[in-house]
Structure 1
């Protein structure tokens, strides 16, 4: 699939990891504060709506006839505003790809308002607090309208900031030159999309090999994308270390426009390579489809864009996985000690050799690591394998087994 090696974008793996970490942290930083601002504004919207309706009705306090205590009106409004926030979060109002949307956000707000009404009615029933249903409905309607106005104001600020590259994700657009131009025109017209193109990568399909490879862009390609986007955009070659190069440029998302077909080995390999660098994949669904990942689908003025999230490699999920791995490993080592300790002693007593066997394996990002396991082969089995292959004229592809016993090779068998 990969045809060439790009020039090194960073000097060492440490620098690359630092760049990737800084990119993730910078995005998490502004997302946290923007969402915190939105949550506070949404809570204020609900409290204001409650004050308007309940003050208009002349209410000062509520009484729980089941538990026999009075509930302050402001305390009740605050509790309901927390329910409001929880329901909005549950339906996806605070999702990172919804923040700048208009129609989709309003549709989700309607769903969140409905669920909030159900939860508030349930709590009123549990406490046995008498509030006319029409009053609760008016509060929800007022909260919905105020939140819409509040989000409209914030949206205008976010969209104007996105023109400068703020509150958006650095995106590398990958596809044919024609597909790239179409995607850039789409991104430049739909400001509600939070993708800011920082580089383009022209690719094509080699009909002879069936592999995706870099292609030479037309002579006037740079001029055309400058005219479409209103600025210069860097060219990123398609190569083995493409993900590392994209990360070093500050990319958060890779947008695939065409060329790579759905369920193809080319696309699967591409996704796995992007996943290793925590890069999100945005796909124009008319060109490609995927399965097995968490997806977010948006319809923007007749064009459908599907974003593929890779939550198993998000910072929070990586932290949880690491804690889980360490705790479960410590527990497993302790519990299985009753079996592993006798095995270790038996291996040592058998031939006096080392208990463990280490071998180099290839892990994440093609980084080698040392695998440690109980030794089940003879000592120096790797050396014996090479000698046996040389004697028999083979290329070394044979199996070493430890089943059965014989007088040769210290009681272990070696099979070509």
Structure 2
């Protein structure tokens, strides 16, 4: 009797879209994220399903202390650490052997270094360190480079050319008396030795992959037929290193033949019939906003798009941001191609060409740097701002005797709720009359509720809002890890409930005290401008960009632009 396919349901599924109903949230160009969803009919479904938080595939909600999501981690397979450390050790050994060969045939060079105080030790350390740095800079330690042929050797050549330039520069700047023979010969000999070493290591990697080891667990998204074909191709293309662990069958329906028409997708889990025993062991997932975290909980390292999803659809753009923000690689067959904003790389494997996409700002190292900056800078800011915060607390309490702080539930990264703190700048009944004011001013459909002449704001509230002092308590949210110094504005739950797929990507990063919205006009911006800025930040943010925003924030606060 055939083994049944293992089904994984990330959340109680919504009703599937009828095959021929329009799907306005799928559009090929970004003008306004909200515009695309303004005509969604009740009962229709889209990629975004309220949050990016997924249920545990084994059952229940995957939570830890403090209601934090343990699945949001950026794990690297142990074998990659071992393999890369082995490469570093062997690359260093090859450099030392290259130096020894030069000394063997150039006794003058050896004698010159021995005649200097610690000259030999300094040169060997410099040669090894410089070579490793250059190999790293030329990306020879990246996850896919290690299994490649021509691409790997090209990078090794580039690294040794860079090593030669670096050695020349360092010895000149620091006036190190190093024989020219060493500067010229060591990179050349190292090139030959490292190429041989990497070739042997590459073959060893391929042997292990033939045995099913040293692979990347992969979730394949596409039509049932496309999934079958991709699995068969990956079996032959072992050098790619993708090991299927789950599939996500989808189908495109209701197409009009117009290339500019929105793409309409539905889940077809029931139509995936395993063709082999190996396919029967694969989990079957649903294409929705919970897919990235479910893939993470299954320890997937890659989500591979086989077909169906078009490169310029809203679902593809949203999925790419959601997957890559989880630290999972997004890979596309050449049937799909291009993802805007990502670093694309074509891998010409004989079995099947693969195009991988990567947003480098979502790497583990960049995330760590951002978190360290948040902790250090927020601590310094709290110390420096403590006199101002004490003054503000006294003034708020003195005006009407109400509470000093205002706490409110906001939605953080991946749709997780948290409590945000501010100095209270409004009357104690402000929330109660918000709906009435919104109806009177005709702005009930706007995400950001801001009024220039808001009657709810107290006298001291006008001052602390104009100077942004009211937001200083959010520094404690940054220390807790709920927020970042820089990021999109933390939204309310009712705002998130109205997000469409594309605008929901702002939940893929931590909300910030300041951000691109705050330094670009704040409340003076239109709804479309605010939404576009948030989505653009998710796709393009960087550490240097965050630093620039922090500097611009100082200018924006001094000018008071859009602050009310």
Sort the TM-score into its range (normalised by shorter chain): 0.7 to 0.9
* 1:142 aligned residue: 189
Q: For residues 346 and 45 of structure 1, do their structure 2 counterparts lie closer, same or farther at Cα, with a shift above 3 Å needed?
A: same
SS of corresponding position for 2:409: strand
1:2 equivalent to 2:55? Answer: no
Q: For residues 207 and 374 of structure 1, do their structure 2 counterparts lie closer, same or farther at Cα, with a shift above 3 Å needed?
A: farther
- Give ranges in structure 2 of 5+ residues lacking alignment: 1-45, 256-261, 462-564
* 1:362 aligned residue: 411
Q: Distance in 2 between matches of 1:331 and 1:162?
A: 49
* 1:215 aligned residue: 268
1:146 to partner: Cα distance? 2.1
* 1:115 aligned residue: 162
Q: For residues 304 and 385 of structure 1, do their structure 2 counterparts lie closer, same or farther at Cα, with a shift above 3 Å needed?
A: same
Q: Distance in 1 between matches of 2:450 and 2:155?
A: 60
1:166 to partner: Cα distance? 2.7
1:260 equivalent to 2:306? Answer: no
1:175 to partner: Cα distance? 1.3
Q: For residues 3 and 369 of structure 1, do their structure 2 counterparts lie closer, same or farther at Cα, with a shift above 3 Å needed?
A: closer
Q: Distance in 2 between matches of 1:53 and 1:405?
A: 81
Worse-superposed segment, 301-310 or 44-53 = 301-310
1:361 to partner: Cα distance? 1.5
Deviations 1:77-105 (A, max 9, x none): 45323322221111111111111111111
1:97 equivalent to 2:144? Answer: yes
Matches within 5 A, 1:234-273: 234-273=283-322
CA contact (8 A) 2:140 2:152 kept: yes
Q: Distance in 2 between matches of 1:400 and 1:218?
A: 49
1:403 equivalent to 2:453? Answer: yes
Q: Distance in 1 between matches of 2:369 and 2:183?
A: 40
Q: Which structure shows the higher strand fraction?
A: 1
CA contact (8 A) 1:61 1:70 kept: no
Q: For residues 349 and 193 of structure 1, do their structure 2 counterparts lie closer, same or farther at Cα, with a shift above 3 Å needed?
A: same
* 1:154 aligned residue: 201
Q: Distance in 1 between matches of 2:386 and 2:48?
A: 48
Q: Distance in 1 between matches of 2:183 and 2:386?
A: 61
SS of corresponding position for 1:143: helix
Q: Distance in 2 between matches of 1:327 and 1:74?
A: 37
Q: Distance in 2 between matches of 1:383 and 1:64?
A: 80
1:330 equivalent to 2:382? Answer: no
- Give ranges in structure 1 of 5+ residues lacking alignment: none
Deviations 1:151-187 (A, max 9, x none): 2222122112223443221110111223323432332
SS of corresponding position for 2:238: coil
CA contact (8 A) 1:3 1:214 kept: no
SS of corresponding position for 1:378: coil
SS of corresponding position for 2:96: helix
TM superposition score normalised by structure 1 = 0.80
Q: RMSD of the TM alignment (CA)?
A: 3.9
SS of corresponding position for 2:431: helix
SS of corresponding position for 1:49: helix
Q: Distance in 2 between matches of 1:302 and 1:197?
A: 16
**Across the two proteins, how many residue pairs are aligned to each other?**
398
Matches within 5 A, 1:14-25: 14=63, 17-18=69-70, 21=73, 24-25=74-75
Q: Distance in 2 between matches of 1:411 and 1:131?
A: 71
CA contact (8 A) 1:351 1:410 kept: no
* 2:4 aligned residue: none
Q: Distance in 2 between matches of 1:20 and 1:276?
A: 9
SS of corresponding position for 2:143: coil
CA contact (8 A) 2:103 2:110 kept: no
* 1:350 aligned residue: 399
CA contact (8 A) 2:91 2:132 kept: yes
1:230 to partner: Cα distance? 8.6
1:289 equivalent to 2:338? Answer: yes
Deviations 1:331-351 (A, max 9, x none): 233334454443333322222
Worse-superposed segment, 95-104 or 241-250 = 241-250
Q: Distance in 2 between matches of 1:357 and 1:211?
A: 43
Matches within 5 A, 1:26-41: 27=77, 29-41=78-90
1:51 equivalent to 2:100? Answer: yes
SS of corresponding position for 1:2: coil
Deviations 1:176-213 (A, max 9, x none): 22332343233222222122211121112343784433
Worse-superposed segment, 272-281 or 168-177 = 272-281
1:296 to partner: Cα distance? 4.0
Q: For residues 160 and 235 of structure 1, do their structure 2 counterparts lie closer, same or farther at Cα, with a shift above 3 Å needed?
A: farther
* 2:421 aligned residue: 372
